[in-house]
Amino acid sequence: MDEKIKSLYQGLYDKYGISPESVKARDKHQQEERFSNLISLTEIKESDSVLDIGCGSAELLKYLRRMGFKGEYYGIDFISDFVTHAKKEFNNDSKAFFDEKNILVDDFENKFDWVVLSGVFNDKRENSEEYFYKTINKMYEVCKKGIVFNSLSKYVDYEDESLYYTYPDLTLKYCIEKLSKYTIINTNYQLKKDTIPFEYSICVFNK
């Protein structure tokens, strides 16, 4: 595990508590825009199972429930405070489960219909490229129907040195060649008004 990344998010949690800022979202609106663009690419059914990698305070679960999702949700995060909070908040949701896990290190007893990742790739690591592709591969290994994830795009006019950017076309090529020909990409959405799109989302179907 990248201790620098863990320390970063523990610090954000300690400063902001349960809020969009603690997961580096500008506000709740931006957070939900990101979810909307991700989930729109999938074919998640109301009875499917979903694994959410880097679940934070499980805002994705709230979004999915509002959209009519009634299936099992599994949220994992490496910040124990997020996991503890989510377990308490969703204590009455019999189909919501949370655990402190690392997608690359820990094993999963079962596969999930869909594996979702939002925002996890954005922070630069010592081995960002290796982490990026290994995580995508592991997601695909544990899915039954498909995976969906987002990443910052290299096709921007400014790059923050602390963030990790990828080429959408190269990621698409990798997914098609290594995982599945049934792949969708969306680069045409804005998360900040009056800026060019700086993020893209990809859904890979397990067919």
What count of Cα atoms within 13 Å lies in the side-chain half-sphere of residue 33? 16
Q: What is the pLDDT of residues 80-103, one digit of tens each?
A: 999 999 999 999 999 999 999 999
In which element (H, E) is residue 97 found?
strand 96-100
β-pairing, 183-186 with 112-117? unpaired
d(CA 16, CA 53): 21
In which element (H, E) is residue 74 found?
strand 73-77
CATH number of 3-205: 3.40.50.150
Residue 36 has pLDDT above 60, yes or no: yes
DSSP code per residue over 114-182: EEEE-SGGGB--TTHHHHHHHHHHHHHHTEEEEEEEEEEES-SS---TTB-EE-HHHHHHHIIIII-S-
Question: So where are the chain's domains?
Answer: 3-205
- Confidence category of residue 161, pLDDT binned at 50, 70, 90: very high
Phi/psi at 102 (5° precision): -115, 120
Mean pLDDT along residues 110-125: 96
| pTM of this prediction exceeds 0.75 | yes
Q: What is the pLDDT of residues 181-199, one digit of tens each?
A: 999 999 988 777 766 688 9
